[in-house]
Amino acid sequence: MSRGRSDPGGGWLRWCLVLFAVVSALGVCGPALYWRFKKTISLRGTSTSNLSCPPCICDCPPPLSLFQVAPGLANLSVSDCGGNDPDLKAEMEKQFVDLLTEELKLQEAVSEAHTRHMNITLAEAKRVASQYQREADKCIAATETCEQARELAEAKLIKERKITAVWERRARQMGWEGE
């Protein structure tokens, strides 16, 4: 290999990239250029009499004007918008600081109403929870009473079984044969 020559594969790669770029450019710009040249060529080859269209014959009504579509719309202007309303005029004359102060007062009122609503909701939740707790305490007390009564009945049953066993033993000793 000589020093002046580059890699043969690199040359082919460059040519492929150039060819790809040219084909891509023609693919993107080609249709627009085609129609432009076709129009230019067709204009050169025709006379001016062939360029104009024959007049259209139709019975279309004339287009409606803005005054016919919305008669009051043309009389509106931004400068006199709300000029007759004294409340609006007074609102528009307020200073920016006054408007901010009023906005803060409104936000504070909304916040207070929200806080009041949340406090009422919290109090109601506490009341309902207290009611449920009282009901649960009643159930627990009733369950404990029932459990004590069951334990007492079980103890009496055990005592009765012992007494019955004693009497049965005595009866067997006396000659009773049982069932």
Amino acid at 158: I
pTM, full prediction: 0.35
Burial readout 109-133 (b: 16 or more C-beta within 10 A, e: otherwise): eeeeeeeeeeeeeeeeeeeeeeeee
**What are the tens digits of pLDDT across the range 55-109?**
767 777 777 776 676 666 655 555 556 667 787 777 777 777 788 888 999 999 9
Across the range 132-159, mean pLDDT stands at: 95
- Please answer whether residues 74 and 66 qualify as being in contact, where contact means their C-beta atoms are separated by less than 8 angstroms: yes
- The alpha helices in 45-95, defined as continuous H runs, are 48-51, 66-69, 86-93
Q: What is the token pair recorded at 79?
A: 């400068």
- Residues 105 and 14: their CA atoms lie apart, in Å, by 73
- Residues 179 and 174: their CA atoms lie apart, in Å, by 15
- Residues 144 and 138: their CA atoms lie apart, in Å, by 10
SS3 label, residue 86? helix
pLDDT-derived band at 34, boundaries 50, 70, 90: confident
pLDDT-derived band at 159, boundaries 50, 70, 90: very high
CA torsion through residues 77, 80, 84, 90, sign: positive
